[in-house]
Amino acid sequence: MSRIRQFFLHAIIWLVLLLFFVFISSRSGSVSEALVIFVYFGFCNIAIFYINYLYLLPRYLNSREYLACAASIIGLILVSGLLKYGLANVFSDTILVRGQTSGAIGFRDYYIASVFTSTFFVFTSTALKFSTDWFVNEKVKRSLEKEKLAAELAFLKSQINPHFLFNSLNNIYSLAYQRSDKTPEAVLKLSEIMRYMLQESNEVRVDLARELRYLDNYIELQKLRFKNDAYVNLSVEGDDHDKKIAPLILIAFVENAFKHGVASDPQHPIEIHIKITSDRLNFSVINRKNSHNKDLTSGIGLNNVKRRLDLLYPDRYYLNITDREVTYCTELSLVL
């Protein structure tokens, strides 16, 4: 809340409270007496409130001088009682009276009552200060968490592009080395993929249809590398219209299947199944493991996507990876 808005809010609250007090007082006496009490009680107690709220608490609590803070508050309460009694003597006929027949109020009784009143306003200002600081600190904390999350996601996403580009360029190099006629088509596919990664996937969520198109382009690029001897069964069930997903989430699992699996066996093709419901995406990849692949690690790809899932879909996804002797299976269920 801005200082101007905070000032007007405080002013309105005080005005409403004091006018209400004047209204109550004027019902049992004259309006002039009510105004005297309004000015006297109003300015005295408002001053006590803001001396504590704006000066004492920030001055001592921020520097962690707790004993000095307590001593200053007690001093404020005690001194304010004396000042109130001095001001009350100026309007003694209005303030220092018990009633028409009960006589005047003595110093002791008035001072004790003033101390209790001052304590109430000090307590109120302290409670407001602590609650305001708590909300401000929570807001700052949430802001810092969002900034940290955005920075971490940006870092994770920055890892995806070089990682994917490195693998794809290796694939195209293999085609070029073999003087394959498919090399231009592979370069074109890679160009389309990189355009999506660099331009269209900068949002937190993208259209699911675009993400699936990107996945399909990647599979086609892999087929070119295998001279169309890559066997992949890709099935998509359900309506992807008006569905959103975090970009570049699914690709790591498919890329892992091509990198560590067998894609050239027509008897055991890579199985990729996608089922879309109203609020959920079920995704699975099953591939036969390549016994000649000495790289047994999944690289940064899977670790990266696991971390992104934790950040973008906390408590809204289920990931199960089954590493059997012959096959490798990944199942992902995601709340869209």
Mean pLDDT of 121-126: 87
Same domain flag for 79 and 202: no
Rounded mean pLDDT of 309-330?
A: 89
Domain assignment present for residue 146? The answer is no
Residue 266 to residue 131: CA distance in whole angstroms: 67
Residue 318's DSSP bridge partners are 333
H-helix segments, 104-207: 107-177, 183-195
Say yes or no: 136 and 185 in one domain: no
Residue 163 lies in a domain: no
Total domains present in the chain: 2
> Is 79 in the same domain as 184?
no
Give the domain-ending residue among 90, 114, 141: 141
The answer to whether residues 259 and 312 belong to one domain is yes
Token pair in block for residue 336: 């869209």
Residue 175 lies in a domain: no
Q: How confident is the model over 259-267, as a mean pLDDT?
A: 84
- The pLDDT, as a whole number, for residue 300 is 54
Give the count of beta carbons closer than 10 Å to the beta carbon of residue 217.
17
Res 318: pLDDT:
93
Helix (H, G, I), strand (E, B) or coil at 289: strand
pLDDT band at 157 (very low <50, low <70, confident <90, very high): low
Residue 42, CA distances (Å) to 47, 153, 178, 184, 213 in order: 8, 54, 91, 84, 69
In a domain, 228, yes or no: yes
- 130-145 per-position pLDDT tens digit: 888 888 777 777 765 6
| Co-location of 218 and 314 in the same domain | yes
Q: Same structural domain for residues 190 and 52?
A: no
Indicate whether 186 and 118 sit together in one domain: no
Residue with more model confidence, 72 or 155: 72
Percent of the chain beyond pLDDT 90? Answer: 12
> How is residue 320 written in tokens?
């199960």
State whether 326 and 185 are in the same domain: yes
Q: Tell me if 281 sits within 8 A of 274, measured CB to CB.
A: yes
Domain boundary among 83, 111, 141: 141
CA distance 73 to 51: 9
pLDDT score of 297? 47
Domain extent at residue 112: 3-141
**pLDDT value of residue 37:** 63
Residue 153 inside a domain? The answer is no
Please tell me whether residues 120 and 234 are part of one structural domain.
no
Q: What is the mean pLDDT of residues 283-297?
A: 75
- Residue 65 falls inside a structural domain: yes
Round the average pLDDT of the chain to a whole number and report it: 78
pLDDT at 331: 94
Q: Which CATH number fits the domain that encloses residue 271?
A: 3.30.565.10
Whether the pLDDT of residue 126 is over 80: the answer is: yes
Give the pLDDT of residue 296.
47
Are 21 and 117 within one domain? yes
Reference 320, options 253, 237, 243; nearest CA is: 253
- Residues 336, 334: Cα–Cα separation, whole Å: 6
Q: What is the pLDDT of residues 298-313, one digit of tens each?
A: 445 677 788 888 888 8
Instruction: Tell me, yes or no, whether 38 lies in a domain.
Output: yes
Q: What's the sign of the alpha-carbon dihedral 307, 311, 313, 314?
A: positive
- The most confident of 144-148, 162-166, 263-267, by mean pLDDT: 263-267
**Structure tokens given for 188:** 């074109």
- Residue 171 lies inside a defined structural domain of this protein: no
**Quick check: pTM over 0.85?**
no
Q: What does the buried/exposed string (b/e) look like for 55-75 if buried means 16 or more CB atoms within 10 Å of the residue's CB?
A: ebbeebbeeeeeeebeebbee
Residue 97, pLDDT > 70, answer: no
> Do 66 and 190 share a domain, yes or no?
no
Q: How confident is the model at residue 47 (pLDDT cuts 50, 70, 90)?
A: confident
For 132-162, give the DSSP string: HHHHHHHHHHHHHHHHHHHHHHHHHHHHHHH
User: Domain end: 141, 164, 195, which one?
Assistant: 141
Residues 109 and 191 in one domain: no
Residue 292 corresponds to which amino acid? H
